Amino acid sequence: MKKRVFRSAALFLTLAFFATSTGCQQLLAEIPFLQRTPLVTQPTAVPQVTPTDVIEGTETPALAEEESSEIIIWLPPEFNPENGSVEGQLLKQQLQAFGEDNPEVTIAVRVKALTGPGGLLDSLSAATLAAPAVLPGLLILPHTDLAAAASSGLIVPVEVGENPAFQADNFKFAQDLTLVNDLNYGLPFAADLLCMAYQSQQVVYPPVLWQEVIQLDKILAFPAAEAQGLTTLLIYLEKGGEFTQNDKQIIIDEEALQQTLMFLAEGANADVFPYWLADSTSFDESWQAVLDARATYAVIPASQYLSELPANTTITSLPSFNDERFSLAEGWVLAFPPSSPERFELYLQLAAYLVEPEFQAKWTESAGLLPVSSTALGLWKNSEVSGILLEMAESARVSPPAQIMTRVGPLFAQATIEMIRKQTTYIESANKIIKSLAEGPLEN
């Protein structure tokens, strides 16, 4: 996990963070991995969790200072333990279990919207400057917000030491979720990744190579107009493409970019990527295309399938260009705002309960998310699905940083639309991307 210590000494620095976090929140609102559940627009007060019951309460700075045994935890709306879902009840029970083992501690849960006025990062920045006494001991935030929070000193690096609770066999991508500038800023909590869905009654052997997708002459749906161009990004990375940053611009691999767009053009010419994909802006539409039998295959986040588990439909790894599987992953991180060393140890104890494999297995399976360790995934009741996910998780890679996604994603999306609609050649579209990145300054 990614961490970094900071002390903001002036209002200017806080204002600078607000400018930075706005761009990151814009990206968050567009990344479909993390948008399966609608977000509320205002933070909602949630009950405190005690060993015996749930008690309504809101803290004031004075109260927070007096009750040193209280742990405040901020959660996004999707993870609200009072949302009436099975996973919400499981989380509530796990927090209560911590309270039973630590009777001197009470837990106050606060639900914070991820974007908009009063959102998580805005609230965290304001509290750090004006009311540090009401800062949460720990919070769950998207990986896409981690770098902005770390660079502004709103969360700190974590050294988990020899605590066996944090020595889980996390997937490689999960370890990378928490890294910012090679520092560990938290603990991986849950994840999602791209996969391929299809109707099992119609398909006996799904394609394992992208070339087979074109040869089989069956429609594969993906959101060509999705703002971050994630499917095209995945193909670019699998083609060996990388992004190099300097102080002024992002440099892209021209050969890999041309090969990526050429493949998309081939698929469009074969009607494997039909014209209507150019109007598709979300993975929801790709998923629905498979359910409606308008497409044989679809690129979707695994959570889309896991949250519904419809009959006669299944998922598998995305095709590749060689024998190595590949996917893109996103996730959620348990992070820690600055606190005293004494309190920090208590927060780590609570975090250990939230990443405990048995709880993680039950909670992620109910929530329709991917656990971050193979141990937790192996404890799922649905062993057939967990076996499929294991292969994907072992080959997944974390999406590029938000700074790159914000700049490159829309360019990839536009080029994808051009290939689907056969408006330009792949070389022309590639050159436009390269020129745009060379001319446009890199936003900090």
Instruction: Please report the pLDDT score of residue 90 as a whole number.
Output: 98
157 vs 41 pLDDT, higher one: 157
**pLDDT for residue 219:** 97
Both tokens of 81, joined, read: 């333990």
* Strands 396-398 and 179-180, sheet pairing: unpaired
The answer to whether the CB of 190 falls within 8 A of the CB of 372 is yes
**Domains annotated on the chain, with CATH:** 11-192+329-393 (3.40.190.10), 193-328+400-439 (3.40.190.10)
- The contacts of residue 113 (CB under 8 Å, 6+ apart) are 39, 40, 41, 42, 43, 76, 77, 119, 120
Query: What tens digit of pLDDT does each residue of 302-335 get?
Result: 999 999 999 999 999 999 999 888 999 999 999 9
Query: Per-residue DSSP letters for 362-389?
Result: HHHHHHT-B-SBHHHHHT-S-HHHHHHH
Q: Which pLDDT belongs to residue 115?
A: 83
Higher pLDDT among residues 114 and 92, named by residue: 92
185-243 pLDDT, tens digit each: 999 999 999 999 999 989 999 999 999 999 999 999 999 999 999 999 999 999 999 99
Q: What local confidence, expressed as pLDDT, does residue 165 receive?
A: 65
Residue scoring higher pLDDT (372 or 17): 372
pTM for this structure? 0.83
Q: Which residues pair with 111 in a beta bridge?
A: 44, 75
Given a cut of 50, is residue 260 above it in pLDDT?
Answer: yes
- Per the prediction, the chain carries an average pLDDT of 84
- Is the pLDDT at 261 greater than 90? The verdict is yes
For the segment 40-89, what is each residue's pLDDT rounded down to a tens digit?
Answer: 333 333 334 433 233 233 333 333 444 458 999 999 999 999 999 999 99
Cβ contacts of residue 92 below 8 Å, gap of 6+?
Answer: 49, 54, 81, 82
Asked whether 297 and 32 are in contact (CB, 8 A), the reply is: no
For residue 13, pLDDT beyond 50:
no
Distance between CA 108 and CA 174 in Å, rounded?
Answer: 27
d(CA 268, CA 264): 6
Residue 382: which pLDDT band, with cuts at 50, 70 and 90? Answer: very high
- Residues 281-307 have a mean pLDDT of 97
**DSSP designation for 331:** E
Residue 26 is predicted with a pLDDT of: 46
